Amino acid sequence: MLRAFLPLAALALAAGCNRPRFDTPTAAYESFARAIQKGDYEVAWSALSAGTQKTLSDRAREISAASGGSVKDDPAALFFAQGARAPLVSEIKLVREEGDGAVLAVTAAGDATREVRMVKERGGWRIDSEPALRH
């Protein structure tokens, strides 16, 4: 099912508030992007799939151990705190949704459009980067 491009501003107005929403793939990604922009890494972390969280947690543990503890074992901080804010998302398009999976086309301001995998779990939609992180 295809949906028209949805500007981020329109999504924010439709949401009516700043609480994260995970009821649709586009709303979940919009909540994730807004959390990153605000530096709310707890909400951003909750927007990730269980597989993505596990992979990032394993990596954080390995990095911390390799550093002798000088790098804190904090996967959310390692994943999100890159020193610069993520670019603002200008468009989110639902490319396809099948069962518990979906693919979005996400365009950030001044950047190319990229596909983002989404999975439905824990009562809502989550970003599934785990397959890409394994490479």
Closest CA to 100 of 54, 49, 56: 49
Q: Is the pLDDT of residue 49 over 60?
A: yes
Q: What is the pLDDT of residues 95-126, one digit of tens each?
A: 999 999 999 999 988 788 999 999 999 899 99
CB of 31 within 8 A of CB of 47?
Answer: yes
User: What percent of the chain is modeled with pLDDT above 70?
Assistant: 81
What are the residue boundaries of the structural domains of the chain, listed by start? 6-133
Mean pLDDT across the stretch 83-103? 86
Residue 37: how many CB atoms within 10 A of its CB?
15
H or E stretch covering 3: none
How far apart are alpha carbons 10 and 22 in whole angstroms?
Answer: 17
Return phi, psi of residue 35, to 5°: -65, -45
Q: Are 94 and 1 in contact (CB under 8 A)?
A: yes
- 6-133: which CATH number, 3.30.70, 3.40.50, 3.10.450, 3.30.360? 3.10.450
Q: Is the dihedral of CA 44, 100, 50, 86 positive or negative?
A: negative
Token code pair at residue 68: 């002798």
**Model confidence at 14: pLDDT above 70:** no
pTM of the predicted model as reported, rounded to 2 decimal places: 0.79
